[in-house]
Chains A and B, each alone.
Chain A
Amino acid sequence: MKLNLKEITLSIVLGIIILTLPLIIKSPYQMHLIIMLCINIVLGLSFAMLFSTGLITIGAAAFWAIGAYGSALLVMNLGLSFWLALPLASIITGIIALVLGSIIVRAPGVAFVVQTMVINMIVGQALGQIEFLGGWGGILGIPRPNPIGSIKFVSKTHYYYLILFLLLLTVAVSYALYSSRTGRAWRSIRLNPRLAQTLGINLFRYRLLAFIIASMSAGLVGSFYAHYFGTIEPGTFSVFKSIYIQIYSILGGLNFYLIGPIIGALIMTLVPEFLRVGKEIEPILTGGILIMLVIFLPGGILSLPERTRSFTAGLLSRREREESLH
């Protein structure tokens, strides 16, 4: 993708803002929101990756939970360092995704959606019923990440850079995959599975790959979540959270696998904050805004450029219109 000067400067400015955010934002509360935002973005990216192959999942929260609980147990019961538990949790989630995925990815379509929901429900119930995993009260007192040198993970700034790193890692890996042959295979599977098959693309293997990688990123950020929050309880990882994750992609734009979830998560995380005016009626307003956005911007926020372009193009005369199309 060739960039012009405008894009380069914009990206640099954006990059600087993101990297120096803790210096600009002094309030730990707002940093907390940004950190939660980053977590939600990664979860949204997870959904989007699966969606790029045409699979809709409402079970992302289950893998988030596996990563969180896995990491907490590895550190608290086995005494591992957080830095070891982080990748391990992701790998464990990946293995479980491999096993489950092999079973459910075979039946795409609505059946798959339903199966992901069942997985989410079973995981939620199991985490609540099993006393060893803390039961309904969850696990408390999960330790902070082990200090690296002088970085002690007490202030939000340290956590921010860690989650930023994880987010960028996820974005980088996703971007690499989307631009590669794998990404092209995914897109073709989404567009027309039968046709893709005739071209020799193995639907099952590519979808399973997406499933595993998407779940691993959820697991990765789950581990971060556990050690950032300090407590985890089964209620957080419900089907409703998975559905929210889906909304991030829908709001941002389903066709934009990277930027879509970013915008969608931004809206869903920050808008309720602005709406704090009526504490009791906040969900009513958020629900209303959601409906408005879905109706008026069905392609997501990122479809706005398209729509304004075609709108302005419609205003131009015929000849100018033809010229602007090239």
Chain B
Amino acid sequence: MTLDLFTQLLVNGLATGMVYVLIASGLILVLGVARIFNFAHGEFYMLGAFATFALCQVLKVHFFISILLATLVVSLFAAICYRLVFHHIRGNLLLCAAASIGLSMMFERGALVGFGTQERGLPSAFSGVITLGNVAMPLEKIAVILLCLAIMLGLYYLLMKTKLGKAMRAVKLDTEVAALQGINTMRVYAFAMVIGCALAGLAGGIIAPLFSITPGMGHAMLLKCFMVLIVGGLESMLGGVVGGLVIGMTLSFGYYFLGGLSEILLFSIIGVILVFKPGGLFGEVVEDV
């Protein structure tokens, strides 16, 4: 394998992996703090992509600003969803899951009806390649990696250093005790949902110029997200990072060597991991929901 080839596969794997990390982190945040297994998470990702498209192509707003505005839109939307739906059934994992399935059905078909059947795409904000030595790397992918990295660092800062972050971590550990400490758990749940979905929307915006924008893009992404959670553990942020990168790399390198069998291989690897580490690589085995 040449260095050129290796670098290409590496960069691809990292770029896709980082995007998975971003989206999965959002899901893990919502699951861990707000106790919602959000089956509609993929739809927020999709909305972020569409919003970015609308702002960028239709309103001719600068790409970066579009992403930021789109994320705001998605956050607002997530807040509304939380207040209207999840607030009433908070705490109950199964009911929230069922409700999120209902939301997912509504959003996906709503997007199809509302945005039309035409698939959309955005031109790249960064085209061209960087050359380091003999190796050429697409600028686009590098940009994605750096952006995602920046956002993840921001998330880390949020969770570790800010009051809200600490509150979220407290609620995740033990909701009752957190409430006893004076933390407004309802607000924390809401914030977790908003931030989690914002992450998904942000990822949608970042991805928009790389991949296509269709109403069904949420579903496919959700499946990949599940795999990240399975590998990394459902409640661990670090697990999300590791899981996302592992999946991204496996698909990138795996496809090259194994072709179509790579999916089955991936599933089998996941299955094996689960047998030995049922909670995922970084998860703990939680006794009953």
Query: What is the interface of chain A, defined by CB distance below 8 A to chain B?
Result: 54, 56, 103-104, 106-115, 117-119, 121-122, 125-126, 129, 193-194, 239, 243, 246-247, 250-251, 254, 280-284, 286-291, 294-295, 298
Contacts and interface: CB of A to CB of B under 8 A. Distances in A.
Nearest to A280: B113
B218 to A, nearest CB: 13
Main secondary structure of the interface of B (DSSP, over half): helix
16 contacts: A104-B275, A107-B279, A108-B285, A110-B234, A114-B280, A115-B271, A118-B267, A118-B274, A122-B268, A246-B94, A282-B109, A288-B102, A290-B99, A294-B99, A295-B85, A295-B99
Given A111-B274, A118-B267, A122-B271, A291 B99 contact: yes
Contacts, number: 128
Main secondary structure of the interface of A (DSSP, over half): helix
A109 B286 CA distance: 6
Q: Which of A103, A117, A118, A243 has the most B CB atoms < 10 Å from its CB?
A: A118
A284 B267 contact: no
Nearest to B107: A287
A118 B264 CA distance: 11
B13 to A, nearest CB: 21
A129 to B, nearest CB: 6
Contact of B289 (A109, A287, A288): A109
Nearest to A300: B95
Contacts of A282: 109
A122 B269 CA distance: 11
Given A125-B263, A243-B39, A290-B101, A280 B109 contact: yes
Contacts of B88: 295
Contacts of B165: none
A123 to B, nearest CB: 10
A204 B91 CA distance: 27
A254 B289 CA distance: 14
- Shortest Cβ-Cβ A-B pairs, 3 listed: A287-B105, A107-B278, A290-B102
A298 B271 contact: no
B260 A129 contact: yes
Nearest to A251: B98
Interface string B41-61: 000000000000000000000
A281 B109 contact: yes
B98 A109 contact: no
B174 interface: no
A81 to B, nearest CB: 34
B231 to A, nearest CB: 10
Contact of A284 (B105, B264, B283): B105
